[in-house]
Amino acid sequence: MATSLNQSTLRLHESDNVAVLKRALKLGAELTDGDTRIVLTRDVPAGHKIAVAPIADSEPVRKYGQIIGFAKGNISPGDQVHTHNVVVRDFGRDYGFCADARQFPLYPKERARTFQGFARPGDRVGTRNYLAVISSVNCSASVSQYVADRFRTADFKRDFPNVDGVIAFKHKGGCAMSADEPTRLLQRILAGIARHPNISGYVLIGLGCETNQIQALARAEKLDQLKPGEIAPALMTIQGTGGIAKTVEAGVSAITKMLPFAGALTRSPHPLSKLILAMNCGGSDGNSGITANPALGVASDELVRHGGASVLAETPEIYGAEHLLTRRAVTREVGEKLVSLIRWWENYVRLFNDSIDNNPSVGNKEGGLTTIYEKSLGAVAKGGQAPLAAVYNYAEQISTPGFSFMDTPGYDPVSMTGLVAGGCNVGVFTTGRGSVYGCKPAPCIKVATNTPLYNWMQDDMDINAGTILDGTETVSEVGMRIFEKIIAVANGERTKSELAGIGDEEFAPWQIGPVL
């Protein structure tokens, strides 16, 4: 029995020669649209693409009105369009610097919204209130964890209800690395955690003989220059303190002295301009660019209108779609910085005889994403329509209101670590396959791209954007639900990942350069 093409598929732009299936269809399924009749030539899962027009060998395959790849052989209407018959080739993009940048006025004062957050020195505001034990090197990772573990007791929450916990920030670097850019990058990341608005105090623990010396870190990042009201940090090394046991006791003593100050902090009202939103997607599928990502773009724009900041990232996952951002750049300099990052990544993967198109993971492809171009076009939708105000290096402190971009890898833990180290105090993470990522000290809201995933993993998903595919909500309606959830979580509502205890092991600094 024939069914309506429009009821069974989504054609996202009039120039597209592919459409996305809303539900799985079998070989021989017949789709009609007026006089048009399309018969599927194989079983095709939901979220995957079929051709709705003939595509000749080497001709562009179009989705979102953009090129997502090139046909490998002739493709007929009704054929599945995926990795078996689509290839990636380089093609020219019109960067059109600033061509689409437009005024994005803020809401008037009478429409101003607030959230309940923790006031910090330096006019920053936290959405959570943690104490941190930061390891300068992998050699002090276990000791840092031992210190944090001493505060995982039933009495802790009773005695300090306003403190969200003590987190150990551990990693695999800090030594056997160049003292130049790789070490400076790690220092910037660790300093970003130390001064994060969701951290009220910290202990920094090293081994003593590592490349990343803690005193040098403190000087380089000016951690030794305290602002009025800041808790003085405790810096120590295992070698200088006398071994593991003595260092653990010294770390526990330092945190214990900080707890009364941190525990006395309470939430108070602050404007939404104090929110810095990290936006990421992981475990993406063919629905990501149709439901959750554009809905997050609506929420991002709404936060920008309230004077807040929202930050897109994952440079390899805007590859092939970067021209949509350069056209929105507020200045040519901002747009050209983004293009320079693209060129860096092209050279970077070339060093390893690799390709950026290797980025779509096994799960991405099973979910219907065929090329990095297709993945990128969907990922960019998280950025809404606001002008691109700034472009940041990895873990650089975010200081410009509005919509911006940070250079990070596409790998979720490394990307989110950079955004959080840059100062993001809340995150939204879209997923079509079911990522369970969390990123303490910043709460992370999960948005499912489809209803079956949401129903299957309700304990891990905060919001269902699959209602867009179901036809019960619009992109704007889901976007506003995400925006309201951001405010609720900033006020202290726990996300599903926080309720599950996720986030202690996800800190993953980007390691560049050789391990020596």
**460 domain-assigned:** yes
In tens, the pLDDT along 292-339 reads 999 999 999 999 999 999 999 999 999 999 999 999 999 999 999 999
Q: What is the mean pLDDT of the chain?
A: 96
Position 20, amino acid: V
Residues 307 and 407 reside in one and the same domain: yes
Average pLDDT in the 405-421 region? 97
Q: Any residues with CB less than 8 A from the CB of 235 and at least 6 apart, and which?
A: 203, 204, 206, 214, 215, 218
How many Å apart are CA 127 and CA 358, to the nearest integer? 36
Return the HEC string of 332-394. HHHHHHHHHHHHHHHHHHHHCCCCHHHCCCHHHHHCCCCCHHHHHHHHHHHHCCCCEEEEECC
The number of distinct structural domains making up the chain is 3
Give per-residue burial for 259-271: e unless 16+ CB within 10 Å, then b.
Answer: beebbeeebeebb
Residues 68 and 145 reside in one and the same domain: no
- Residue 67: strand pairing partners: 62
Average pLDDT in the 199-227 region? 96
- Which parts of 54-178 are beta strand (E)? 60-63, 66-71, 80-81, 86-87, 114-120, 124-126, 130-135, 165-169
In tens, the pLDDT along 356-373 reads 877 678 889 999 999 999
**288 domain-assigned:** yes
How many Å apart are CA 317 and CA 357, to the nearest integer? 9
What DSSP letter does each residue of 180-230 carry, written as one string?
Answer: THHHHHHHHHHHHHHT-TTEEEEEEEE-SSSSS-HHHHHHHTTTTSPPTTP
Residues 217 and 359 reside in one and the same domain: no
- Residue 130: strand pairing partners: 165, 199
pLDDT tier, 355 (very low <50, low <70, confident <90, very high otherwise): confident
How many Å apart are CA 275 and CA 125, to the nearest integer? 8
241 sits in which H/E element: helix 238-241
When comparing pLDDT for 109 and 204, which is higher? 204
How many Å apart are CA 20 and CA 63, to the nearest integer? 9
**98 domain-assigned:** no
**116 domain-assigned:** no
pLDDT at 267 over 80: yes
**152 domain-assigned:** yes
403 sits in which H/E element: strand 402-406
Cis peptide bond prior to 441, omega within 30° of 0: yes
Domain of residue 193, CATH code: 3.40.50
290 sits in which H/E element: none
Residues 408 and 306 reside in one and the same domain: yes
Residue that is written with structure tokens 């993967």 in the block: 349
Last residue of a domain, one of 244, 268, 292: 268
**What confidence score (pLDDT) does residue 134 get?**
98
Domain of residue 59, CATH code: 2.30.130.110
Residues 250 and 291 reside in one and the same domain: no
Residues 46 and 61 reside in one and the same domain: yes
In tens, the pLDDT along 454-504 reads 999 999 999 999 999 999 999 999 999 999 999 999 999 999 999 999 999
Average pLDDT in the 226-231 region? 91
**334 domain-assigned:** yes
Residues 482 and 336 reside in one and the same domain: yes
**What confidence score (pLDDT) does residue 409 get?**
96
Residues 308 and 441 reside in one and the same domain: yes
Residues 280 and 261 reside in one and the same domain: no
pLDDT tier, 37 (very low <50, low <70, confident <90, very high otherwise): very high
Residues 215 and 302 reside in one and the same domain: no
Residues 149 and 248 reside in one and the same domain: yes
In tens, the pLDDT along 113-126 reads 999 999 999 999 99
**209: containing domain:** 127-268
Tallying the residues shown for the chain, one arrives at 516
Q: What is the DSSP letter of 310?
A: E
Residues 196 and 230 reside in one and the same domain: yes
**300 domain-assigned:** yes
Average pLDDT in the 494-516 region? 95
Return the HEC string of 165-176. EEEEECCCCCCC
Q: Any residues with CB less than 8 A from the CB of 393 and at least 6 apart, and which?
A: 406, 407
pLDDT at 284 over 70: yes
Task: Please tell me whether residue 421 adopts helix, strand or coil conformation.
Answer: helix
How many Å apart are CA 439 and CA 506, to the nearest integer? 6
What DSSP letter does each residue of 65-89 carry, written as one string?
Answer: TEEEEEESS-B-TT-EESTTTEE--
Which ranges constitute the DSSP H helices of 306-331? 322-326
| Cβ count near 158 (within 10 Å) | 8
**What confidence score (pLDDT) does residue 321 get?**
96
**162 domain-assigned:** yes
How many Å apart are CA 482 and CA 287, to the nearest integer? 17
- Answer yes or no: are the C-beta atoms of 379 and 315 closer than 8 Å: no
**What confidence score (pLDDT) does residue 357 get?**
77
Task: Please tell me whether residue 411 adopts helix, strand or coil conformation.
Answer: coil
